[in-house]
Amino acid sequence: MSTAGSYYVYILASRHHGTIYIGVTNDIRLRLELHRSGRGSKFVYQYQVFRLVHVEEFATPQEAIAREKALKEWRRDWKIRLIEKDNPEWGDLSHLL
């Protein structure tokens, strides 16, 4: 993961079936660091939504932004199914980066 010229849509969770946050970035490691240090989203820091539970990679920022917007429109149960398809335990995937 994390190759040059890639863009990512990611889902963070506070815990298993907890609060969910969806974001987009071109540097997922840096973005996670910013979130976890309180310098990213205020929402993420306030609700301690630090567990990386889902990541999708895209070649262009337009594709990533379109996917992020689409996911934000999804119903919560659809988002949960998406996460659990590849990560049924909602484990933190940041070690894979």
Per-residue model confidence (pLDDT) at position 97:
85
Catalogue the E-assigned strands of the chain.
Answer: 7-13, 20-25, 51-58
Residue 13 placed within a domain: yes
Residue 1 placed within a domain: no
Residue 76 placed within a domain: yes
Residue 2 placed within a domain: no
Domain count, the chain: 1
pTM value?
0.94
Which of the 8 DSSP states describes residue 96? G
CATH of the domain at 40: 3.40.1440.10
Q: Give the pLDDT confidence of 7-36 residue by residue, as tens digits.
A: 999 999 999 999 999 999 999 999 999 999
**Model confidence band, residue 3 (pLDDT cutoffs 50, 70, 90):** low
Domain coverage including residue 64: 7-96
Per-residue model confidence (pLDDT) at position 33:
96
Residue 86 placed within a domain: yes
